Amino acid sequence: MGKVDGLPEINVAEIFTALRKTPAAKPLRSMLRFGPFRHETESPQHWKKVLGPSANSFTHMPYVYKFLRKMIATELQISPNFFTKEEQKTLLLAAACHDFGEAVINGQGVGDIIIIWKKPYHEEQEHKVFDEVLAMLKLPKKLKGEISTAYNIVMREKTNRLGHYFNAIEKTEYLDTILKVYRNHLTGNRIKNRQLLIGQVLTTYIPPLIEHTEQYVSIKKYLGKNRHFISSAFKYTYRDYVNHDPTDKRYVKGIETSLQKWTEFSSALR
């Protein structure tokens, strides 16, 4: 892939072959993302069929790696010096391993916490588990050192330029996942709480993603490419999401604010 897009090559297969041989592999595979929205009658297999690779933490990481490559390549098409080769490598390494810390091993760890519910304690525990998982991997010492450095820059420090970009792309990927849920709904492949999941992500992430378009052309292009589909998803989920609990005004105010910002933004794209 690096030969095509010009980005540094990361041997993700080598990393995940090593990960599969550790006690972290099984809990990461069974860690269903967006779990609070899964109905008790829905199997993990169905969840993955509807949500795609980001349905569990194990397959989520290599998918985010591929997603990030495309977004970085888009930035570089417009501004060839937007990221140095070293910065590109740091971002890609972090993406490939960023959720190692979600493994719950021998009862230790916090698992996947939805970002709006995540507290400093959860992040501290994730960082601790990440270090433990990395230590388990039978990989070259140099590569493990590079992974550790990349994770520290992007995930631990987080407020720097690379951490900010990765966080923005991760939000974009959350949106990408719920658009898969919506597409699958249209073809009859559904999860029961689809309106709530779609509504939650649209409410939470559309406003900050719109702000990110001022800095990142990759996000602006992604939103522009998917603008009609996003508008359709808003229309589909709006009524059911607002009526989930009419006494809780957060649902009403939140999605109305997000929809208003999206309408203004998408109209300006035409």
The tens digit of pLDDT for each residue in 77-114 reads 999 999 999 999 999 999 999 999 989 887 676 566 66
pLDDT for the residue numbered 1: 45
Q: What's the chain's length in residues?
A: 270
The total domain count for the chain is 1
Tokens coding 223: 């939103």
Q: Which residue range(s) make up the domain with 152?
A: 2-269
Query: Which of 62, 53, 85, 60 shows the shortest CA–CA distance to 11?
Result: 62
Taking the C-alpha atoms of residue 227 and residue 119, their distance in angstroms, rounded to an integer, is 32
Residue ranges of the chain whose pLDDT lies below 50: 1-2
pLDDT for the residue numbered 65: 98
pLDDT for the residue numbered 258: 95
With 0-12 / 13-18 / 19 or more C-beta atoms within 10 angstroms meaning exposed / middle / buried, residue 172 is buried
pLDDT for the residue numbered 253: 72
Q: pTM for the complete prediction?
A: 0.91
Q: Which residues contact 63 (CB under 8 A, 6 or more apart)?
A: 52, 53, 54, 173
pLDDT for the residue numbered 248: 57
Taking the C-alpha atoms of residue 167 and residue 172, their distance in angstroms, rounded to an integer, is 9
